[in-house]
Amino acid sequence: MLLFLISLVFGGEFLYNFKKVDKIEENYELFKEIKLKNFLYKFYRTGKSSTKLLIQQHLPFLLQEVTKIKSLDFTRQSLIFTLTPYKDIFMKDKNTTICIGKYVGTFFEDDTLYQYYKGGDKCDIKKDVNRSARVSYKGGPGKLRIDKIYESKVCRYEIVVIGEELSRVVEGNVEIVYFVEENDSR
Protein backbone atom coordinates (compact mmCIF):
# COMPACT_ATOMS: atom_id res chain seq x y z
CA MET A 1 0.00 0.00 0.00
CA LEU A 2 2.80 2.42 0.88
CA LEU A 3 4.58 1.80 -2.42
CA PHE A 4 1.34 2.48 -4.31
CA LEU A 5 0.91 5.81 -2.48
CA ILE A 6 4.53 6.71 -3.09
CA SER A 7 4.14 6.09 -6.82
CA LEU A 8 1.02 8.29 -6.95
CA VAL A 9 2.51 11.14 -4.93
CA PHE A 10 6.02 11.11 -6.39
CA GLY A 11 5.29 10.20 -10.03
CA GLY A 12 6.46 12.49 -12.79
CA GLU A 13 9.60 13.25 -14.74
CA PHE A 14 12.09 12.53 -11.98
CA LEU A 15 13.30 9.19 -10.76
CA TYR A 16 13.37 9.05 -6.98
CA ASN A 17 15.70 6.80 -4.99
CA PHE A 18 14.07 6.02 -1.64
CA LYS A 19 15.95 4.99 1.48
CA LYS A 20 14.54 4.44 4.96
CA VAL A 21 16.60 6.07 7.72
CA ASP A 22 16.49 5.99 11.50
CA LYS A 23 17.67 9.57 11.95
CA ILE A 24 17.09 12.78 9.98
CA GLU A 25 20.09 15.07 9.45
CA GLU A 26 19.81 18.84 9.82
CA ASN A 27 20.46 19.63 6.17
CA TYR A 28 17.54 17.47 4.93
CA GLU A 29 14.54 19.38 3.57
CA LEU A 30 11.04 18.10 4.42
CA PHE A 31 9.36 17.19 1.14
CA LYS A 32 6.10 15.34 1.89
CA GLU A 33 4.19 13.76 4.75
CA ILE A 34 1.81 10.84 4.31
CA LYS A 35 -0.45 9.60 7.10
CA LEU A 36 -1.37 5.97 6.75
CA LYS A 37 -3.33 4.28 9.55
CA ASN A 38 -1.37 4.97 12.72
CA PHE A 39 1.90 5.86 10.98
CA LEU A 40 3.26 9.16 9.72
CA TYR A 41 5.75 8.86 6.87
CA LYS A 42 8.00 11.90 6.48
CA PHE A 43 9.94 12.24 3.23
CA TYR A 44 13.02 14.45 3.00
CA ARG A 45 15.22 15.64 0.13
CA THR A 46 18.86 15.03 0.90
CA GLY A 47 20.21 17.37 -1.76
CA LYS A 48 22.07 14.47 -3.35
CA SER A 49 21.46 13.32 -6.88
CA SER A 50 22.98 10.44 -8.74
CA THR A 51 24.79 10.52 -12.01
CA LYS A 52 22.74 9.61 -15.04
CA LEU A 53 20.94 6.31 -14.93
CA LEU A 54 20.55 4.07 -18.00
CA ILE A 55 17.36 2.00 -18.17
CA GLN A 56 16.69 -0.68 -20.78
CA GLN A 57 14.14 0.57 -23.32
CA HIS A 58 10.86 -1.15 -24.17
CA LEU A 59 10.64 -3.41 -27.22
CA PRO A 60 9.01 -0.92 -29.66
CA PHE A 61 11.73 1.63 -28.92
CA LEU A 62 14.51 -0.96 -29.27
CA LEU A 63 13.17 -2.09 -32.65
CA GLN A 64 12.97 1.52 -33.81
CA GLU A 65 16.57 2.22 -32.76
CA VAL A 66 17.94 -0.98 -34.32
CA THR A 67 16.29 -0.15 -37.67
CA LYS A 68 18.20 3.18 -37.65
CA ILE A 69 21.59 1.42 -37.53
CA LYS A 70 23.25 1.41 -40.97
CA SER A 71 26.13 -0.87 -39.97
CA LEU A 72 28.55 -1.46 -37.11
CA ASP A 73 32.19 -2.57 -37.35
CA PHE A 74 34.28 -4.45 -34.83
CA THR A 75 38.03 -4.99 -35.25
CA ARG A 76 39.94 -7.84 -33.66
CA GLN A 77 43.60 -8.06 -34.70
CA SER A 78 43.50 -8.27 -38.52
CA LEU A 79 39.79 -9.21 -38.71
CA ILE A 80 36.99 -6.72 -39.30
CA PHE A 81 33.43 -7.83 -38.53
CA THR A 82 30.64 -5.80 -40.17
CA LEU A 83 27.07 -6.12 -38.91
CA THR A 84 24.20 -4.72 -40.97
CA PRO A 85 21.02 -5.25 -38.92
CA TYR A 86 18.18 -7.01 -40.76
CA LYS A 87 20.60 -7.92 -43.57
CA ASP A 88 23.90 -9.74 -42.97
CA ILE A 89 27.18 -10.10 -41.07
CA PHE A 90 30.61 -10.35 -42.72
CA MET A 91 34.11 -11.08 -41.45
CA LYS A 92 36.99 -9.64 -43.51
CA ASP A 93 40.73 -9.94 -43.38
CA LYS A 94 43.34 -8.69 -45.87
CA ASN A 95 42.46 -11.15 -48.65
CA THR A 96 39.08 -12.74 -47.90
CA THR A 97 35.51 -11.86 -47.02
CA ILE A 98 33.48 -14.52 -45.21
CA CYS A 99 29.71 -14.37 -44.73
CA ILE A 100 28.84 -15.14 -41.10
CA GLY A 101 25.11 -15.21 -41.84
CA LYS A 102 22.06 -13.62 -43.39
CA TYR A 103 19.21 -12.22 -41.29
CA VAL A 104 16.42 -14.72 -40.49
CA GLY A 105 14.50 -13.29 -37.53
CA THR A 106 14.14 -11.16 -34.41
CA PHE A 107 12.84 -12.09 -30.97
CA PHE A 108 12.69 -10.61 -27.47
CA GLU A 109 13.61 -12.66 -24.40
CA ASP A 110 14.65 -11.75 -20.83
CA ASP A 111 14.56 -8.00 -21.60
CA THR A 112 16.97 -8.41 -24.51
CA LEU A 113 16.34 -8.02 -28.23
CA TYR A 114 17.97 -10.79 -30.30
CA GLN A 115 18.47 -11.30 -34.02
CA TYR A 116 19.47 -14.55 -35.72
CA TYR A 117 21.70 -14.75 -38.78
CA LYS A 118 22.07 -18.13 -40.51
CA GLY A 119 23.23 -19.64 -43.80
CA GLY A 120 26.70 -18.14 -43.79
CA ASP A 121 29.72 -19.60 -45.58
CA LYS A 122 30.88 -23.14 -44.78
CA CYS A 123 32.97 -23.49 -41.65
CA ASP A 124 36.64 -24.19 -42.37
CA ILE A 125 36.97 -26.47 -39.31
CA LYS A 126 33.66 -28.39 -39.64
CA LYS A 127 32.85 -28.64 -43.35
CA ASP A 128 29.25 -29.78 -42.74
CA VAL A 129 28.40 -26.63 -40.71
CA ASN A 130 27.49 -23.21 -42.07
CA ARG A 131 28.45 -20.16 -40.04
CA SER A 132 25.72 -18.40 -38.03
CA ALA A 133 25.33 -15.74 -35.36
CA ARG A 134 23.03 -14.45 -32.67
CA VAL A 135 23.15 -10.72 -32.02
CA SER A 136 21.89 -9.23 -28.74
CA TYR A 137 21.04 -5.54 -28.34
CA LYS A 138 21.26 -4.02 -24.86
CA GLY A 139 21.28 -0.57 -23.35
CA GLY A 140 24.54 0.53 -21.79
CA PRO A 141 26.95 3.42 -21.33
CA GLY A 142 28.76 5.04 -24.22
CA LYS A 143 28.33 5.23 -27.95
CA LEU A 144 26.47 2.48 -29.84
CA ARG A 145 28.97 -0.26 -30.69
CA ILE A 146 29.68 -3.95 -30.95
CA ASP A 147 31.00 -4.63 -27.46
CA LYS A 148 32.20 -8.20 -28.00
CA ILE A 149 32.15 -11.14 -30.37
CA TYR A 150 32.87 -14.71 -29.34
CA GLU A 151 32.30 -18.21 -30.65
CA SER A 152 29.86 -20.11 -28.42
CA LYS A 153 30.43 -23.21 -30.60
CA VAL A 154 32.60 -23.77 -33.65
CA CYS A 155 31.50 -21.21 -36.30
CA ARG A 156 28.54 -20.08 -34.14
CA TYR A 157 29.08 -16.47 -33.10
CA GLU A 158 27.57 -14.43 -30.27
CA ILE A 159 27.65 -10.68 -30.89
CA VAL A 160 26.76 -8.13 -28.20
CA VAL A 161 25.73 -4.61 -29.25
CA ILE A 162 25.38 -1.98 -26.51
CA GLY A 163 25.02 1.78 -26.28
CA GLU A 164 23.10 4.70 -24.84
CA GLU A 165 20.96 4.82 -27.99
CA LEU A 166 19.33 1.61 -26.74
CA SER A 167 18.75 3.05 -23.25
CA ARG A 168 16.45 5.52 -21.63
CA VAL A 169 18.74 8.04 -19.95
CA VAL A 170 17.38 9.48 -16.69
CA GLU A 171 19.33 12.42 -15.30
CA GLY A 172 16.81 13.86 -12.82
CA ASN A 173 17.69 11.21 -10.26
CA VAL A 174 16.85 12.51 -6.75
CA GLU A 175 17.59 10.83 -3.43
CA ILE A 176 14.70 10.87 -0.94
CA VAL A 177 14.98 9.49 2.59
CA TYR A 178 12.01 8.75 4.78
CA PHE A 179 11.40 8.37 8.46
CA VAL A 180 8.41 6.62 10.04
CA GLU A 181 6.76 7.92 13.19
CA GLU A 182 4.02 6.09 15.01
CA ASN A 183 1.02 8.38 15.22
CA ASP A 184 -1.32 7.62 18.15
CA SER A 185 -4.14 9.91 16.99
CA ARG A 186 -6.39 7.81 14.74
CATH of the domain at 151: 2.70.130.10
131 and 75, same domain (yes or no): yes
**pLDDT computed for residue 149 by the predictor:** 97
Q: pTM score, two decimals?
A: 0.67
76 and 110, same domain (yes or no): yes
Pairing label, strands 145-153, 156-163: antiparallel
**pLDDT computed for residue 58 by the predictor:** 73
**pLDDT computed for residue 60 by the predictor:** 81
Adjacent-strand bridge partners of 159: 135, 149
21 and 76, same domain (yes or no): no
177 and 137, same domain (yes or no): no
Residue closest to 101 by CA, chosen among 128, 75, 121? 121
User: 6: helix, coil or strand?
Assistant: helix
**pLDDT computed for residue 45 by the predictor:** 78
Q: What's the structural domain count of the chain?
A: 2
**pLDDT computed for residue 62 by the predictor:** 83
**pLDDT computed for residue 72 by the predictor:** 97
Adjacent-strand bridge partners of 146: 161
75 and 154, same domain (yes or no): yes
Domain, as residue range, for 61: 55-168
28 and 85, same domain (yes or no): no
Pairing label, strands 167-170, 29-36: unpaired
Give mean pLDDT in consecutive 10-residue pieces for the chain, a chain of 186 residues. 46 62 82 82 75 70 90 95 98 95 93 93 94 94 94 96 85 72 65
**pLDDT computed for residue 79 by the predictor:** 94
77 and 152, same domain (yes or no): yes
